[in-house]
């Protein structure tokens, strides 16, 4: 795996993060979108600097992902057209398995982030959401850009995608999940079991 892929995998998990605050009476603003991403970055940096065992870091990352990311939207998007043929029970189990899969897959790469930092640079409105632009600095590597896409569509301020050096978390994971589903002959239950073991 190249350094670029490793960095993308790490950050897509960081982050590639679902409860935040009730939706106020006014629409999402630049300040609220930036505040969300600032908190995501702060929480991730705190886990990385904690010095705790990797297994605990992964559990902490899963909590971050659950708190700040629109996990339902991300998971359904990665499942693609198959989500329309999935029962409510299967979807709940898929989302739960997907959350753990993301935490394990990217949490294992936290050690590569030690000594690095993310700086939030700018916010811009895109259609009905906000794009929070940040720069990532890792030791010994040139800085690169990460864009958090933030929306309050679910009733909370949450990010629903991350674009790392032009690569979308949702689209890259959709490819991965699609490949898993194909290996299971389109069987959702088989995919769920694979997700629980993967990462």
Domain-by-domain residue ranges, the chain?
A: 3-15+28-76+96-173
3-state secondary structure of 122: strand
Q: Is 189 exposed, middle or buried (0-12, 13-18, 19+ CB in 10 A)?
A: exposed
pLDDT in tens, 5-17: 455 554 444 444 3
Pick from 6, 9, 5, 15: nearest CA to 45: 15
Q: Taking each helix axis from N to C terminus, what angle separates 88-107 and 54-68, rounded to the nearest 10 degrees?
A: 130
Architecture of domain 3-15+28-76+96-173: Roll (3.10)
pLDDT of residue 25: 41
pLDDT(29) > 50:
yes
pLDDT in tens, 131-161: 999 998 888 889 999 999 999 999 999 999 9
Sheet holding 129-137, edge to edge: 117-126, 129-137, 144-151, 158-164, 167-168
3-state secondary structure of 103: helix
pLDDT of residue 111: 65
Higher local confidence (pLDDT), 195 or 44: 195
**Residues 72-86, mean pLDDT to the nearest whole number:** 93
């Amino acid at each position: 795996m190249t350094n670029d892929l490793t960095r993308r995998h790490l950050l897509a998990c960081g982050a590639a993060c679902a409860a935040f605050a009730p939706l106020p009476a006014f629409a999402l603003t630049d300040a609220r979108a930036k505040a969300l991403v600032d908190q995501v970055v702060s929480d991730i940096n705190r886990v990385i600097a904690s010095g705790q065992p990797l297994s605990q870091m992964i559990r902490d990352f899963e909590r971050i992902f659950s708190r700040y990311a629109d996990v339902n939207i991300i998971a359904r998007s990665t499942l693609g057209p198959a989500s329309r043929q999935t029962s409510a029970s299967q979807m709940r189990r898929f989302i739960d398995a997907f959350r753990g899969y993301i935490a394990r897959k990217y949490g294992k790469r936290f050690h590569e982030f030690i000594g690095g930092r993310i700086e939030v640079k700018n916010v811009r409105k895109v259609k009905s959401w906000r794009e929070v632009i940040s720069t990532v600095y890792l030791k010994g590597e040139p800085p690169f850009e990460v864009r958090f896409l933030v929306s309050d569509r679910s009733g909370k301020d949450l990010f629903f995608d991350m674009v790392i050096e032009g690569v979308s978390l949702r689209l890259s994971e959709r490819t991965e999940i699609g490949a898993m589903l194909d290996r299971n002959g389109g069987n959702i239950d088989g995919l769920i079991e694979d997700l629980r073991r993967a990462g």
